[in-house]
Structure 1
Amino acid sequence: MTQLPSHVDIREVGPRDGLQIEAPISTAGKIRLLQALVATGVRRIEATAFVSPRAVPAMADAERIAEYVGTVPGVDWSGLVASPNGATRAIGSGLRTIEYVVSAADGHSWANARRSTQDAVDAVAEVARIVHDAGGRLEVIIATAWDCPFDGPTDPQRTAGIAARALELGADQLCFGDTIGTATPARVRRLLDAVRAAIGGPGDGGADPVALGAHFHNTRGTGIASAFAAVQAGIRQLDASVGGLGGCPFAPGASGNIATEELVYLLDDAGISTGVDLDAVLAAAAVARELVGHPLESNLFRAGGRNRPRPAPADDR
């Protein structure tokens, strides 16, 4: 186990992962949320996804969102894609940090991208070429890294092999997705050990050859614990979603991401800086609740922070 770091970098994924299973909200509403999130101090935000608007109607305004974020400096704005065509759209919109998702499990890959895992991995090379030719940076996100709703548990060696191959084909960094919220701290450590053995990472006591991130859902109440276990195991980049919004439209039963405010609360209390203001995140969560029109998953949002009053009452009884 490594010594706890002084800083962990949080990527806010609420505008994409948080909203993708919601009824579409207006572009103006999304911009309100983006503005509230920028005010939190978070410096990496996943703005949108360049995917089929028929499959994910909530992301149909991707180009308009990208046009807006291009006017906002000081944030590393990213967009998620599931194909080379999506990468072309994202680069054409002006984004230069691109996330390409590959499902480690074939069942989820067919549901999510209508292709096998092998085909999705093979496409990393083309996506990397599109991104790098534009001077961009490519992150490969490996979904269902721990479990698949269709295929069951994912062998850690399978996920590790995909990670190694993605790097060979041009990925600049990696992120491991707990798509259906089944990860636990022990399984997090086992997967990261397998990945580091495959990519040549040093494990404890040294830097990984590329940046590694993790993305957890709190479906079974273990998301925050898994995130902290990842930090203890050397992960320095974590995804989180304001208010705990989110879920995968192609993974039955998948629910919200770990809540940004709960992650900030935990890390701050452990003496780990994030650069993110907790009060501002709670204010952004209030905007998110208004926009989606239903209670949020976040326990911290409902209860309020330590020595902080509970947010204004709403229909979250």
Structure 2
Amino acid sequence: MAVLPAHVTIVEVGARDGLQNEERVTTADKVNFINLLSKTGLKHIEAGAFVSPKWVPQMADSQSVITQIERTSGIIYSALTPNKQGLELAIQSGIDHVAIFGSASEGFSQHNINCSVSESLKRFEPVMLLAKQYNIPVRGYLSCVVDCPFEGPTPPEKVASVAREMIDLGCYEVSLGDTIGTGTPLRIATMLESVNQNIPINQLAVHFHDTWGQALANIYQALSMGVSVIDSSTAGLGGCPYADGASGNVATEDVIYLCQGLGIETGIDLNQVAEAGWDICQRLGKLPSSKVSLAIKARQQRLKEQ
């Protein structure tokens, strides 16, 4: 049997990645959602994104959200900051960590941030310098590590090369994203093996979308190879606005349940996360896509009826 990590850190991306496509969400909804998540045992919550409101209007209130939330000691509150201007706003709001994002695919980079992969990395240099000046740790997101919606399969060696460049820029960790959710365990293993040749496994995280229903299987594969940081979104909220057909991120509830079954400690209260997911989904007028969350609610209903 595979040797699995004893403890996993879950990076909760629901309040940013999960809500960036939702038109009905208000600032108050976001603040309430993050406050609920802060009570669950999560240790890293991505709270917003300082990006152009022209491209992602739902994140235009990130500074208001971050300054209004009830911060809990011991929790990292982070935000996406693709440029120096965004980082300056994040610093004003008192953010703990920030993240930059790039792509392993040239096609996706052009469609997503209108420049080549090498140009995107060059653009991050002033961000990294300013973050270093303020002692703010920077995380790197790397998209399309399996397939690109415009170019097809992404060569693992390309993923490894760009991930290494992000580490060399100064990122403390690179989150490897299966943006369109087409990965399967064997392909994930091949990609991780390639990346791990250049970067220690403890500097890698995984960020899997569940479009083809493979996210949990892929997470198990990553865990079996020593990865111990997983990005997920409560209630399975989210997707990618630049990747047609990409469904939500893997649900935090489903990841916690998987870890519990594997004897891996997360420090997170599953029921409280599920409640936070139901609350935000009611505000959005939709149901959670988390199977675990739906099962918990169904069990609660049965117990009430007994």
Give the alignment's Cα RMSD to 1 decimal.
Answer: 1.9
Q: CA offsets, 1:72-115, max 9 Å, x none?
A: 43310010122333223222322130110001112211222121
* C-alpha deviation, 1:71, in angstroms: 4.1
Tell me which amino acid in the other structure corresponds to 2:124.
Answer: V
**Partner of residue 209 from structure 2, selected from 200, 208, 217:** 217
Residues 23-32 or 237-246, more deviating: 23-32
Alignment of 1:59-208 (within 5 A): 59-69=59-69, 71-199=71-199, 201=200, 208=201
CA distance in 1, matches of 2:213, 2:41: 27
| Matching residue of 2:269 | 277
**How many Å separate the matches in 1 of 2:87 and 2:55?**
17
The 3-state SS of whatever aligns with 2:94 is coil
Deviation at 1:310, TM superposition (A): 4.9
Aligned to 1:204: none
- Report the Cα offset of residue 190 of structure 1: 0.8
Matches of 1:190 and 1:242, distance apart in 2: 28
TM-score, normalising length from structure 1? 0.91
CA distance in structure 1 between the partners assigned to 2:285 and 2:190 by the alignment: 39
Report the residue type matching 2:247 in the other structure.
S
Match of 1:226 in 2: 218
Distance 2:70 2:274 in 1: 25
Q: 1:231 Cα deviation (Å)?
A: 0.7
Identity %: 37
Establish whether residue 15 from structure 1 lines up as the match of residue 46 from structure 2: no
State whether structure 2 residue 35 is matched by structure 1 residue 35. yes
Paired amino acid for 1:93: S
Unmatched 5+ stretches in structure 1: 202-207, 313-317
TM-score by length of 2: 0.94
Give CA deviations for 1:124-171 in whole Å, capped at 9, x if unaligned.
322211111111101111011111111111111101000111122222
CA contact (8 A) 2:82 2:124 kept: no
Q: Does the CA contact (< 8 Å) of 2:207 and 2:231 recur in 1?
A: yes
- Deviations, residues 161-197 of structure 1 (Å, cap 9, x unaligned): 0011112222221110111111111111111110111
Query: Could you tell me how far 1:24 is from its partner in structure 2?
Result: 4.4
The one-letter code sitting in structure 1 at the alignment partner of 2:230 is L
Q: 1:84 to 1:251 in 2, by over 3 A?
A: farther
Q: 3-state SS of the aligned residue for 2:95?
A: coil
Matched residues in 2 for 1:96 and 1:32: separation? 19
Q: Is 1:128–1:169's contact at 8 Å kept on the other side of the alignment?
A: yes
Distance in 2 separating the partners of 1:112 and 1:72: 33
For the residues of structure 1 that align with 2:177 and 2:302, how far apart are their CA atoms?
A: 30
Size of the aligned set, in residue pairs, is 303
CA distance in 2 between partners of 1:168 and 1:143 (Å): 18
The SS at the match of 2:265 is coil
User: Any runs of at least 4 consecutive aligned residues in structure 1 with deviations exceeding 4 A, and if so which?
Assistant: none
